[in-house]
Amino acid sequence: MVRISLTIIPSFLTLRQLIDVKMMDIFVCNNNNLNPFNTLSMKKNLLTIFALTSLTGSVMAQLPVSTTPQNKTAVLEEFTGIYCGYCPDGHQIANSIKAANPSKVVLVNIHAGGYATVAAGEPDLKTPEGTAINNMSGMSIVGYPAGDVSRVVVPSASQQTASPYGMAQNRNSWSSSVNAILTQTSYCNVALQGTVDVNTRVLTVVAEVYYTANSPVNTNSLTIFLLEDKVVGPQHNYGSPYYNAANYNADGTYNHNHVLRKALTPTFGQSITPTTMGTTYTTTLTYTIPATYGAAGKTNPCLLGNLELAAFVTQTDRPAISGANGPITLTGFSNTLDVATTNLKSDASVCSGNNFSSFFKFTNTGSTPITNAVFSYSMNGNAINTLTWTGNVNPMTSSQTVTVPLFSFSPVATNSMNVSVVSVNGAADQNAANNTGVKTINLTTVVANTLSMQMDFTQDQYGTEDSWVLYDDVTNAIISQDGPFADLPASGTLLHTQTFTVNPANCYRLVVSDAYGDGVNAGTGVGGYSLKSGGVAIITSNGQYGTGETRLFKSAVANSGISAKSLNINSVNLYPNPTAGITNLSIDLRQNETLNVVILNSIGQVVYSAKNVEYNSGLNNVSINTENWAAGVYFINVGSSNGSVKQKLTVTK
């Protein structure tokens, strides 16, 4: 609920390449009917960008409001969406306009329209208020990105090329339109500021409007928006090189800035009266900020430290006369040094445990900026190592992705990884309750029962976006691959079949990728894939995998015609490999078995032997000390009277 109090104070008491006219080229035209939401003719491959965030700072208009006559402040409402590949260029242009006029331009990014409609699991940045502004009479958006400048119709800049012209402009017109607004005299000034209690998340905003001259109408409207920077999510990009590349994070996500989160007033403002020279209008509002925004299944977190305010006065609902950004001060911190480990991520399953990758983020929930933090990480209760992070994370904001160094381990059926805070800015963290992030990783249960494999991949229309690669999960060697494929002339599908063989008792990693980010089942053909072993599907997909997915499986044991069933061995793995000291031999059995373990060096000499040892069903771990062995390659033979499984071990010095 938003609560509002109003005061009128007498003066003596004292807010899929150009979306210009040529933007029409990106739309699909059938029989000359324009369809601005059809992206089929403009899909392009995405690139992987590794860049740090760059934000243009804002100069805030804090209270009290100025009583000195001023020129107008321009309000640029930019209409955007994560599927709009030209929108990052709009973001870049808007940021440059703001940078040139930091205290005289207000940016509001409104995610609306077809390009802002997201799939499950993606961040929904649309708002009812943004949709209403997108659809307001006279806006007349033809394509995205679009922007109105102070809700003024400029016929020469309008996306509508014939009367009636609309307020929406192409991005190459924004700068000249803003410059024109900045030369005009305003009859009012706007200022605002807010405070939020970090515990209750209650925001209190005070805004003031002072009339330096009479308004031509008796009643104006004041609109106040809550905006958020650094909202992390995907973003399509047709630039080569990328538009606004500095906004991409190391993990390929994008920082969306000036995102409209909530209108704290009615969407088109609350009434101001009187509007005569010398009048000061003051309003106070309260609003409880939710932890997340977005529709169910598409929510995204709201970080209090990234919020700002924007306000502007309109004559009715248009034009905007002047506006301002306003700061938000955070209060009520319980701790000075407090890091919360969040978003610990990795693959959902594991097979060999070799070169395991994972990453996480952390949130600064203390009152002091974090410049240094040390984290420990462990797997299944076994400490692995520590890592040191350096940078700057302000209070109530989140870090960039922190990558955990690759490590190897012997997986069990259910594995638990922990990342915990060791120290913050060289001192102890003051709140242990949120220090540890936990991730559960299951051992894959997918087994290829034969060594003869077949991959059936069905592309959609855009085959140039699609590819797959099968890796040996231990050595990272490529076993088989296919794609990208040729595009089809129209919506449809085409089957591609690849056959290959795998080695026995080994782990494999299937990586399927889509460069555009919509899989192969998103309206241009119902694609998918099926990985088969001996003609039986072991991994399948309906093609709705976005940018891609990774799937793991292990091959059955077979040696010289010996079946996996007769050997009773599910898998044999080594960790670490290579090793300079102790290595762990992991043997996974279906039932109890008497085995011989023999290790030979490169010239056939036995360096280790353990014969007729009884092993139990499940995982068995054998610790082998290689400290006195010469550097080189060694051959491990694990067998019984029914056959054997071989592995290579590399010893380094």
pLDDT, position 16? 29
461 closest CA partner among 511, 512, 519, 513: 519
| Residue 250, pLDDT score | 81
pLDDT value for 635: 82
Topology of the domain covering 339-440 = Immunoglobulin-like (2.60.40)
Amino acid at the residue 166? G
Of the given ranges (42-51, 113-122, 587-596), which has the lowest mean pLDDT?
Answer: 42-51
- CATH architecture assigned to 564-651: Sandwich (2.60)
* 290 preceded by a cis bond (ω within 30 of 0): no
Instruction: Give the pLDDT band of residue 4 (cuts 50, 70, 90).
Output: very low
Range with the poorest average pLDDT among 33-42, 262-271, 563-572 = 33-42
CATH of domain 447-555: 2.60.60
61 pLDDT tier (thresholds 50, 70, 90) = low
Per-residue pLDDT for 591 more than 90?
Answer: no
Supply the pLDDT for residue 557.
Answer: 66
pLDDT in the model for residue 560: 36
**Higher-confidence position of 619 and 46:** 619
Rg (alpha carbons) of the chain, rounded to whole number: 31
527-562 tens-digit pLDDT: 999 999 989 999 999 999 988 999 999 998 644 333
Q: Tokens in use for 591?
A: 């039932």
CA dihedral 317, 323, 324, 330 (to 10 degrees): -30
CB atoms within 10 A of CB 240: 10
Q: What is the reported pLDDT for 529?
A: 98
pLDDT value at 30 more than 90: no
For CA atoms 576, 578, 579, 583, give the dihedral sign.
positive
Q: Where are the beta strands (DSSP E) in 198-327?
A: 202-211, 220-228, 231-233, 254-256, 259-263, 270-272, 279-288, 292-293, 300-301, 307-314, 320-326
Q: Which residues of 8-20 are buried (b: 16+ CB within 10 A; e: fewer)?
A: eeeeeeebbbbbb
What local confidence, expressed as pLDDT, does residue 86 receive?
97
Per-residue model confidence (pLDDT) at position 223: 98
Confidence of residue 37 (pLDDT cuts 50, 70, 90): very low
Residue 437's pLDDT is 96
Whether the CB-CB separation of 418 and 446 falls below 8 Å is answered with no
Q: Which whole number is the average pLDDT over 138-152?
A: 98
Closest of 588, 156, 85 to residue 350, by C-alpha: 588
Residue-wise pLDDT tens digits, 377-436: 999 999 999 999 999 999 999 998 999 999 999 899 999 999 999 999 999 999 999 999
User: What is the rounded CA–CA span in Å between residue 642 and residue 165?
Assistant: 83
- For residue 567, name the pLDDT band (cuts at 50, 70, 90): low
Mean pLDDT confidence for 28-44: 31
pLDDT surpassing 50 at residue 291? yes
Least confident span in 8-12, 104-108, 119-123: 8-12
337-364 residue pLDDT tens: 999 998 899 988 999 998 899 999 999 9
Over pLDDT 90: what percentage of the chain?
70
pLDDT, position 178: 98
pLDDT surpasses 70 at 564: no
Where is pLDDT greater, at 51 or 623? Answer: 623
pTM tops 0.85, yes or no: no
pLDDT of 36 over the 70 cut: no
Quote the pLDDT of residue 501. 87
Q: What is the DSSP letter of 361?
A: E
Mean pLDDT of 557-584: 68
- Flag whether pLDDT at 177 surpasses 50: yes
- Confidence band, pLDDT 50/70/90 cuts, at residue 1: very low
Asked which of 187-191, 516-520, 636-640 is least confident by mean pLDDT, the reply is 636-640
Decide: 327 and 394 in contact? Cβ < 8 Å: no
pLDDT band at 243 (very low <50, low <70, confident <90, very high): very high
CA–CA separation, 38 and 115 (whole Å)? 9
Cα–Cα distance, 147 to 169 (Å, whole number): 5
Given this model, what pLDDT does residue 270 score? Answer: 98
Q: Do 339-440 and 564-651 come out as alike in CATH topology?
A: yes
